[in-house]
């Protein structure tokens, strides 16, 4: 049995199809002249954009608009004048087009890979996909056609790029297995959208699993069983049938109120990273947005978003949610997320450094643009502001003062806005220990269990040697969560949770007992989380 990360639930039973790498070696390509190399580059870019548009159109029709945006994002990324101009500069310096593409793309890959954040790491995977596609176009190499694999195929590869995954015929593929990737990788998102079980990060999968080998894939537990016995096949076939019936039954929770079996009202919200994500929230009848990660508005671009651009993003989400709460987290950026145009100083330990609320307070002009945009957008819905990585009262008071100044400016300009409730993320032990004091200063809490677990246990979740300690069920973390909820309840303020643990069926009973008001999860987890809450009855 092999182990990996289960990223798309379900059970897949079928025969392995190994998807090997295609060589993009360009060592024999000779430099001609700068103009010819630039023309070759432009032809490759045009070819890439044309093919990607077709793939996006196909995936939009087969899966949905939201999933097509992943591929459309590749076009946007490559359309960045900075990326193309850097490639052209390399050509002017004597590089062949292939080398220019490799050099510039690898610079972006290194930048995004250096961040200990899955969503940011995904940008590195996107750039790899762009790089490989451009190199294939320049070299005249054809991509693997995985659309023609036979029925009940289990696809096995080192990695599945979005462009590869988008070609999958979901009727013929039972499961996906890769050697790399995580829950937020785009191949995982597309696999979930297509309803295909997937297990990623299976070490040496392409070497251990042989072409044609019978495989069982468990997308829940991240298990891969090679050459299963008849007993194992019967067991997993039964589990597969049961799961499909349960999945169908979740549809009854669309539009249903989130109320426990003994009548306690709760709410299931969703986490989003960009305005387009709101459509999935609405499709799954999310009762609000518990976390709008605004840093993604600042990434994948050559310059800082204007106040107007931010206003458009926030107001779009507020209007779409039609009066339901939208909690906007202010810019959570710093040494751990390298955005070139912000010129953020490299730090030895960025997770304990100049980031999030600390960075924003020290860059008031940047922070004011965001606050002004949020306040202006408040007219179009039910918006709240949330401050990340708070560790002391002074940070909250300074932010409140800046919000007040922004409100005075808008007032003097005659610009409409509402008084927006202010909350903090509880994601550090310091915030937990002063949560009784913080509760007197703010209108709500949101517990970020991902960082809270890491900071409380002093553990790097990306370090395999200590990964066993990265566990929300550690007594220290559980006590921190309970203390935070109880202090919020004493102060009479709302308390939610926007970390991954909010969707954990094992933890939900504790959260209900302690008094958590709102569970903010990924869009795909809304219905299952609602079902778990609705079925729970206090002892």
Q: Please say whether the beta carbons of 397 and 422 come within 8 A.
A: no
CA distance 462 to 459: 9
Supply the DSSP symbol for 265.
B
CA distance 107 to 127: 10
Identify which of 306, 326, 399, 324 has the alpha carbon closest to the alpha carbon of residue 358. 399
CA distance 175 to 233: 15
Laid out side by side, the sheet with 223-226 consists of 2-3, 223-226, 214-218, 11-19, 153-157, 173-178, 198-200, 5-8
Q: Please say whether the beta carbons of 295 and 301 come within 8 A.
A: no
Task: Considering the candidates 74, 186, 360, 406, report the single residue annotated as catalytic.
Answer: 186
CA distance 67 to 64: 6
CA distance 350 to 332: 12
Q: Please say whether the beta carbons of 359 and 414 come within 8 A.
A: no
Structural tokens at position 192: 């979930």
403 three-state secondary structure: helix
Structural tokens at position 214: 């019978």
Task: Considering the candidates 105, 360, 406, 498, report the single residue annotated as catalytic.
Answer: 498
Sequence-separated (6 or more) residues with CB below 8 Å from residue 17: 146, 149, 150, 153, 154, 155, 156, 211
Q: Please say whether the beta carbons of 151 and 172 come within 8 A.
A: yes
CA distance 117 to 448: 14
Structural tokens at position 72: 């459309």
CA distance 170 to 157: 17
Question: What DSSP assignment string belongs to 453-520?
Answer: HHHHHT--TT-TTTGGG--TTSHHHHHHHHHHHHHHHHHT-EEEE-SGGGG-TTTHHHHHHHT--EEE
Helix axes 118-139, 186-194, angle to 10 degrees: 90
Question: Is residue 343 flagged as an active site residue?
Answer: no
CA distances from 37 to 89, 226, 262, 300 (A): 11, 47, 70, 26
Question: Is residue 74 flagged as an active site residue?
Answer: no
CA distance 91 to 89: 5
Q: Which residues are catalytic?
A: 186, 498
């Amino acid at each position: 049995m092999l182990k990996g990360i289960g990223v798309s639930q379900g059970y897949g039973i079928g025969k392995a199809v190994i998807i090997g790498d295609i060589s993009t070696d360009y060592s024999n390509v000779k430099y001609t002249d700068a103009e010819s190399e630039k023309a070759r580059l432009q032809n490759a870019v045009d070819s890439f954009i044309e093919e990607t548009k077709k793939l996006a159109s196909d995936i939009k029709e087969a899966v949905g608009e939201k999933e097509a945006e992943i591929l459309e994002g590749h076009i946007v990324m490559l359309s960045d004048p900075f990326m193309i101009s850097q490639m052209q500069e390399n050509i002017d310096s004597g590089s062949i087009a292939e080398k220019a593409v490799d050099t510039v793309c690898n610079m972006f890959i290194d930048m995004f890979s250096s961040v200990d954040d899955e969503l940011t790491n995904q940008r590195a995977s996107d750039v790899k996909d762009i790089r490989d596609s451009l190199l294939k176009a320049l070299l005249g190499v054809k991509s693997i056609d995985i659309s023609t694999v036979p029925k009940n195929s289990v696809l096995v590869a080192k990695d599945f790029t979005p462009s590869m995954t988008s070609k999958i015929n979901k009727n013929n593929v039972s499961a996906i297995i890769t050697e790399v990737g995580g829950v937020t990788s785009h191949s995982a998102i597309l696999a979930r959208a297509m309803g295909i079980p997937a297990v990623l990060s299976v070490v040496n999968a392409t070497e251990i699993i042989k072409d044609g080998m019978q495989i069982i894939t468990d997308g829940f537990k991240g298990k891969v069983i090679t050459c299963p016995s008849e007993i194992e096949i019967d067991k997993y076939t039964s589990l597969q049938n049961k799961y499909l019936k349960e999945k169908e039954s979740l549809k009854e929770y669309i539009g249903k109120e989130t109320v426990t079996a003994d009548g306690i009202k709760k709410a299931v919200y969703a986490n989003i990273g960009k305005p387009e994500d709101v459509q999935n929230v609405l499709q799954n009848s999310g009762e609000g947005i518990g976390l709008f990660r605004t840093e993604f508005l600042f990434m994948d671009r050559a310059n800082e978003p204007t106040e107007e651009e931010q206003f458009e993003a926030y107001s779009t989400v507020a209007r779409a949610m039609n009066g339901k709460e939208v909690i906007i987290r202010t810019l959570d950026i710093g040494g751990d997320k390298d955005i070139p145009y912000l010129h953020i100083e490299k730090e030895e330990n960025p997770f304990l450094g100049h980031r999030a609320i600390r960075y924003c307070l020290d860059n008031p002009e940047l922070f004011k643009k965001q606050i002004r945009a949020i306040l202006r957008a408040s007219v179009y819905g039910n918006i709240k502001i949330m401050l990340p990585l708070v560790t002391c009262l002074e940070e909250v008071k300074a932010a409140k003062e800046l919000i007040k100044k922004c409100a005075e400016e808008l007032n003097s300009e005659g610009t409409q806005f509402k008084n927006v409730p202010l909350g903090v993320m509880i994601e550090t032990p310091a915030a937990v220990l002063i949560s009784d004091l913080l509760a007197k200063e703010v209108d709500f809490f949101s517990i970020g269990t991902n960082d809270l677990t890491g900071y409380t246990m002093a553990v790097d979740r990306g370090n395999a040697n200590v990964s066993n300690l990265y566990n929300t069920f550690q007594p220290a973390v559980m006590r921190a969560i309970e203390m935070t909820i109880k202090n919020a309840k004493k102060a009479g303020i709302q308390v939610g949770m926007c970390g991954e643990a909010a969707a954990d069926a094992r933890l939900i009973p504790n959260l209900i007992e302690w008094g958590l008001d709102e569970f903010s999860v990924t869009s795909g987890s809304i219905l299952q989380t609602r079902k778990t809450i609705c079925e729970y009855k206090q002892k």
